[in-house]
Structure 1
Amino acid sequence: MIQVKNITVAYGDLVAVDDVSFDVPPGFVLAVSGPSGAGKSSLLWAIAGAVDVLTGTVEVDGLVITERPAAAAHGVVLIPQGNGLARVLTARENLTIPLLANGNDPDETQVVVEKALAAVGLAESGDHLVEELSGGEQQRVAVARGIAQRGRAVLADESTSELDSTNRERVLALLQTQADQGAAVIIATHDPTVAEAADGHAVMDEGRLTWVRRL
């Protein structure tokens, strides 16, 4: 369960998220749409503990989120816009290193990594350096890294923006699978087809959230 209670995020005088509250239960996919600069990324990064909130609180399954390392250890997965991959590492290494750093068994990690790469259609690209991959392929590696972590909360920031329709549907299905396995999922998106596929849909504009569809 993601619980966002009256959070405000500001960068100096710029208010990026303005007194936003909502809950996302396990098994639910929420799409947050809106124009560039509306506050979508700041909202997701605040939930992930990657930016500080000025007021309000974020809680995920009993943990009040105040910093990124603790949130990540608690299973709050952030798939950032721009992918956040290490370009000098291979696709496989980008998935493997975070899992090993979290103490996962090496043999199990290898299996999980190969399944995740196959799930995004990159089973044959694991040994390619990230800088050798196309933008869409890099985006799929970032998604694979996210789903490999099997989080209790999954935050996907524009994770389908560079994908064709086939791979967009593939990624949406994978995020839905994360929800089916018990995760609370939030997708920030510009794409109306992505918003339509989600269980709920909210729109951000100038830091404020309004609901289009909620359960």
Structure 2
Amino acid sequence: MIQVSNITVAYGEVVAVDDVSFVVPPGFVLAVSGPSGAGKSSLLWAIAGAVDVLTGKVEVDGLLISDRPTAAAHGVVLIPQGNGLARVLTARENLTIPLLANRQDLDETDRVVESALEAVGLAESGDHLVEELSGGEQQRVAVARGIAQRGRVILADESTSELDSTNRERVLTLLRTQANQGAAVVIATHDPTVAASADGHALMDEGRLTWLRRL
């Protein structure tokens, strides 16, 4: 479960997230929509422990998230906008390295990596360098890397923005599957179709959150 309590994120005098609170239980998909610069990415990065909160706190299953290593160790997976892949590595290597860093068994790692690449429709592209892939393919590799980590929390930042309708539905199905397996999922998106598919929908503007649909 994600519990965000009155968090504020600021960069100097610019407030990106302004006194935001909400709870996302296991098995729930929350969509956060809003214009560029509204604070969506800063919100997800705060939950992931990748940026400091000025006030308030973020907890995952009761554990206070104080930094990125703590969050990652507790199963908080961030699929960043812009994919965050190492362009000089292959798609398969981008998935494999985080799993081996967590000391996962090599044979199990291979199985999980191949399954994740197949799930995003890139089973034949594992040996391609990331820089050889299209923007949409890179985005799907980033999603595959995220789901391969089997997180308690999945934070997907504009992870369907460069995808056609078929691959968008494929990714949304995968994120839903993660929720069905017990993850709490938050998706930052500009896409009303993506927001409509979620269990809850909140609008973010100028750092503040307004609920449009809440279960």
Give the AA of the match of 2:106.
P
Matched with 2:213 is 213
* Distance of 2:72 and 2:78 partners within structure 1: 8
Matched with 1:202 is 202
* Distance of 1:15 and 1:91 partners within structure 2: 36
The two structures have a TM-score, normalised by structure 1, of 1.00
* Distance of 2:29 and 2:47 partners within structure 1: 15
> Does residue 1:64 correspond to 2:49, yes or no?
no
Return structure 1 stretches of 4+ with deviation > 6 angstroms: none
Displacement of 1:111 in angstroms is 0.1
State the Cα deviation string for residues 109-128 of structure 1 (Å, max 9, x = none).
00000000000000000000
More deviation, 140-149/63-72: 63-72
Question: Percent identity of the aligned residues?
Answer: 88
| 1:151-166 correspondence to structure 2 within 5 Å | 151-166=151-166
* Distance of 1:124 and 1:61 partners within structure 2: 37
Matched with 2:180 is 180
Displacement of 1:70 in angstroms is 1.1
State the Cα deviation string for residues 27-67 of structure 1 (Å, max 9, x = none).
00000000000000000000000000000000001210010
State the Cα deviation string for residues 70-111 of structure 1 (Å, max 9, x = none).
110110000000000000000000000000001101100000
> Does residue 1:31 correspond to 2:48, yes or no?
no
Give the AA of the match of 1:142.
A
Give the aligned length: 215
* Distance of 2:119 and 2:168 partners within structure 1: 12
Matched with 2:97 is 97
Matched with 2:43 is 43
Unaligned runs of 5+ in 2: none
* Distance of 1:46 and 1:103 partners within structure 2: 26
- SS where residue 98 of structure 2 aligns? helix
Give the AA of the match of 1:11.
Y
Give the AA of the match of 2:208.
R
More deviation, 61-70/203-212: 61-70
- SS where residue 4 of structure 2 aligns? strand
Matched with 1:123 is 123
- For the aligned residues, what is the CA RMSD? 0.3
Matched with 2:168 is 168
* Distance of 2:156 and 2:101 partners within structure 1: 21
- SS where residue 175 of structure 1 aligns? helix
> Does residue 1:5 correspond to 2:32, yes or no?
no
| 1:67-82 correspondence to structure 2 within 5 Å | 67-82=67-82
Unaligned runs of 5+ in 1: none
State the Cα deviation string for residues 127-166 of structure 1 (Å, max 9, x = none).
0000000000000000000000000000000000000000
* Distance of 1:61 and 1:95 partners within structure 2: 26
* Distance of 1:205 and 1:148 partners within structure 2: 32
